[in-house]
Amino acid sequence: MENTLGLEIIEVVEQAAIASSRWMGKGEKNIADQVAVEAMRERMNKIYMRGRIVIGEGERDEAPMLYIGEEVGICTREDAKNYCNPDELVEIDIAVDPCEGTNLVAYGQNGSMAVLAISEKGGLFAAPDFYMKKLAAPAQARGKVDINKSATENLKILSECLNRSVEELVVVVMDRPRHTELIAEIRQAGARVRLISDGDVSAAISCGFSGTNIHALMGIGAAPEGVISAAAMRCLGGHFQGQLIYDPEVVQTGLIGESREGNLARLKEMGINDPDKCYNAEELACGENVLFAACGITPGTLMEGVRFFHGGARTQSLVISSQSKTARFVDTIHMFDSPQTLNLK
């Protein structure tokens, strides 16, 4: 799968990032997202595959493109028999977030990315459009920290695993009212807190790389993005756990249905019979082969954002593979108008 799709999925996230970055700082988050979706879908439909979107633009949005269940790729065309050999056909499940951090793009803030994860059919958890309690940590702490433990307990374990004092640890938490007590506990334990307004996929992945000065992600964020984060951490060998949140009072947003009971019934209809189950990375991204790709839209911890110059643009992407056990940073210059010189600064 990596040999077949590796380079092309880089181009998918690059095109989405370039399209979205043209709206950076213009205060138009919906347009920044829309153009990323259109660019990502257009490039996906040029790939020799039969892909199915299992995590996309959301159930609530009634999105016309990259919606859950949409099929993408050359081999989904009506005349596919003229293009595709069934014996060579690559069938995959795809989780996408064409503009992860729409507010970050709209207001010119750091940390937005175009991201996707792919695996063979059935290899990615089809998370409902709910929220998820998350815990991400470096590989050294894999299987030792636990989402059911308190933040204080996990910080102590993490400090032992990383051979650092608790005071040297940095924990990323989304700046939301629901995290008031969590933030207070982390600070009381002695660790430092980095608050983010959006974009917890980047924070989760950063835990998998040394030198980022991010040692854990804690708190509640969107469930679909949790699956994408889990796919990346599965490839990196890092720690990731997620637990679905179905009680509207917990998330305090009014975005996941009117009642706890209604959400439980919805989960049961989806075949999720244990709504309180804690999933690890291998369960959320269970495929034999998993690929993750991201391209920076605005500058972030791991990647630069899109940088335009006369006649072109420069992007930085990250591709992580469970198959080859590699994490590749890809620096690309895109030549739009055949510039005479290429700006490498």
What pTM was computed for the model? 0.91
Same domain membership, residue 197 and residue 257: yes
Claim to verify: residue 195 and residue 270 sit in the same structural domain: yes
> What pLDDT is attached to residue 60?
47
Angle between helices 2-21 and 29-44 (to 10 degrees): 150
Report in angstroms the alpha-carbon separations of 180 from 153, 171, 183, 218, 299. Answer: 18, 14, 5, 12, 27
Which of 303, 297, 345 is CA-nearest to residue 328?
303
Q: Let me know whether 142 and 256 are in one domain.
A: yes
Would you state the pLDDT for residue 257?
63
- Taking alpha carbons only, the member of 12, 80, 63 closest to residue 42 is 12
Q: Is 135 helix (H, G, I), strand (E, B) or coil?
A: strand
Determine the residue type at 79.
Answer: D
pLDDT along the chain (345 residues), means of 10: 77 98 96 96 92 80 76 86 73 94 96 96 90 97 97 98 98 96 98 95 96 97 94 97 90 69 86 92 96 97 94 95 94 81 61
Instruction: State the pLDDT at residue 37.
Output: 96
d(CA 59, CA 10): 26
Q: Does residue 50 sit in helix, strand or coil?
A: strand
| Burial (0-12, 13-18, 19+ Cβ within 10 Å), 180 | exposed
What is residue 62's predicted lDDT score, i.e. its pLDDT? 55
For residue 345, tell me if it sits in a domain: no
Q: Do 293 and 280 share a structural domain?
A: no
Q: Clarify whether residues 263 and 147 are in a common domain.
A: yes
- To the nearest 10 degrees (0 to 180), the angle between helices 180-189 and 151-162 is 40
What is the reported pLDDT for 255?
60
* pLDDT value at residue 182: 98
Strands (E), 154-196: 170-174, 192-196
What's the domain count of the chain?
2
Question: What integer pLDDT is reported at residue 100 of this predicted model?
Answer: 95
What range defines the domain where residue 301 resides? 2-122+289-335
Check whether residue 24 and residue 110 sit in a common domain.
Answer: yes
Q: What does DSSP say about strands 91-100 and 50-55: parallel, antiparallel, or unpaired?
A: parallel
Alpha-carbon separation of residue 85 from 3, 4, 167, 329 (angstroms): 17, 14, 58, 32
54's enclosing H/E stretch is strand 50-55
